[in-house]
Chains A and B, each alone.
Chain A
Amino acid sequence: AQSVTQLGSHVSVSEGALVLLRCNYSSSVPPYLFWYVQYPNQGLQLLLKYTSAATLVKGINGFEAEFKKSETSFHLTKPSAHMSDAAEYFCAVSLSSFFSGGYNKLIFGAGTRLAVHP
């Protein structure tokens, strides 16, 4: 079965600093990986996804993530944090439909709350 682990339930950075949110996955077959963002009292928004194409994935709002099979990681980064980036970030994993032979479940990590201070 697949799973994801997000290291750090809370991350705090200064405005303009590097954002690094960590996600490690466990999967016996090549996974599809996703990062979602949830702003306070709002729904989920897809930031980016990895679906077995390029290992460096660029998403919205200046975020990117790199799929590293050797490290089973899919960390989310942004070079310079903005106050508007303060939100909850979720990493999620789904089996590739090529391998699943059936339906795919999207499984979420516990989430990381990002705080950005002036």
Chain B
Amino acid sequence: SAVISQKPSRDICQRGTSLTIQCQVDSQVTMMFWYRQQPGQSLTLIATANQGSEATYESGFVIDKFPISRPNLTFSTLTVSNMSPEDSSIYLCSVEWIPASGQGSGYGYTFGSGTRLTVV
């Protein structure tokens, strides 16, 4: 399966500023996903990023607040814009891993280690 490098691992930011989170994958993948995990909560899907097209956002998330770039098949960024303390969360990127034909049951999802964001 793919290996994901996500950075920064954590950051403390001032309200009103923006933070860009990077996600690098060691192999080419079609779909990349961005999740948010608020304190003590489960993971909520923010958007799905397909290379060469606009990201698809889930209900409750908008492009102006969470712009996403997907310039190639191994890289994506998520920006958290005009931050407020309510944006304090862990943000994770994920990729869907579909094995090559005949490679059996390797299908799954790989997650980055996450970016722990605190907005003060």
Contacts and interface: CB of A to CB of B under 8 A. Distances in A.
Interface of A: 32, 34, 43-44, 46, 49, 51, 53, 90, 92, 94, 97, 103-111
Interface in B23-66: 30-31, 33, 41-45, 48, 50
Contacts, number: 51
Contacts of A105: 33, 45, 48
Contacts of A34: 108-109
5 contacts: A34-B108, A51-B105, A51-B107, A92-B109, A103-B30
Contact of A43 (B42, B48, B92): B92
B75 interface: no
A94 B107 CA distance: 11
The 6 closest A-B pairs by CB, nearest first: A43-B113, A108-B43, A111-B42, A44-B111, A103-B31, A108-B42
Between B44, B45, B107, the greatest number of chain A beta carbons within 10 A of the residue's beta carbon is seen for B107
Contacts of A32: 107
Contacts of B30: 103
B105 A53 contact: yes
Contacts of B33: 105-106
Interface in B1-38: 30-31, 33
B89 interface: no
Interface in B91-115: 92, 94, 96, 98, 105, 107-109, 111-114
A43 B107 contact: no
A34 B107 CA distance: 11
B118 to A, nearest CB: 13
B112 A43 contact: yes
Given A104-B31, A109-B42, 19 more contacts: A32-B107, A43-B113, A44-B43, A44-B92, A51-B105, A53-B105, A90-B42, A94-B96, A94-B109, A97-B98, A97-B107, A103-B31, A103-B96, A104-B96, A106-B45, A107-B45, A108-B42, A108-B44, A111-B41
